[in-house]
Amino acid sequence: MRITTVFLGLTYFAVAALTAQEKQSVEIGTSLGVTVLSQSGETFTTIGVPVAQGPIPVFGQGTLYATIFAGRSLMIEPQVSFSHLSDASSSVTLLGFGSQVGYLFTPLQRASPYVAANVGLQHLSLDGGSATGLGIGGSVGYRMRVGAGFAVRFEGRYRRWLGDFHGLNEFGFGIGLGGII
């Protein structure tokens, strides 16, 4: 419960920052790339289109994002992912939420490097059992607008997971593809 409260609190502050600024545009997209998970000397790597983020990327759950550009340099990005697999005897459900707050260094240019702080919440249900974790981290990236309605971004990220996934490190690199509305 405490993990959920922290996640919701951070998301609330991100939305509050958004409402204090003038909305300029929204980018909706997904990404392709690689995620490497590391814990106690063991690693697990996934490559995906769309790329899975979080401590349970086993089933290749895709992450969708909606980046809201507030003011000139502020970007706020809610993220969501969902997977459900089942057969006659068992089922697995993965649900992920994320939020990223970033700063564009050259927002008036067609291309801009950026930095961001991020938080993620992942829930796994497996045949009556469940696990939930909160990941906190950051990312660096480079975003380019292509034409009037398309953007490409290159992003590297790190997240440290807590809760049921305590001690798990997530490293990732993604190429984001988004439409601007």
Q: What average pLDDT does the chain have? A: 84
Q: Distance between alpha carbon 154 and the CA centroid of its chain, in Å?
A: 13
Size of the chain in residues = 181
| Whole-prediction pTM | 0.80
Concatenated DSSP letters of 34-72 = EEEEEETTEEEEEEESSPP-SS--TT---EEEEEEEETT
Can you read off the two tokens belonging to residue 45?
């790597």
For the chain, what is the domain count? Answer: 1
Q: Can you tell me the mean pLDDT for 9-24?
A: 56
Can you read off the two tokens belonging to residue 94?
């993965």
Higher pLDDT, 13 or 44: 44
Q: What is the pLDDT of residues 83-115, one digit of tens each?
A: 887 888 888 888 888 899 999 999 999 999 999
What single letter denotes the amino acid at residue 41?
G
In terms of residue numbers, what domain contains 87? 2-180
pLDDT at 23 over 80: no
Q: What is the CATH number of the domain that holds 115?
A: 2.40.160.20
Residue pair 149/129 in contact by the 8 Å Cβ criterion:
no
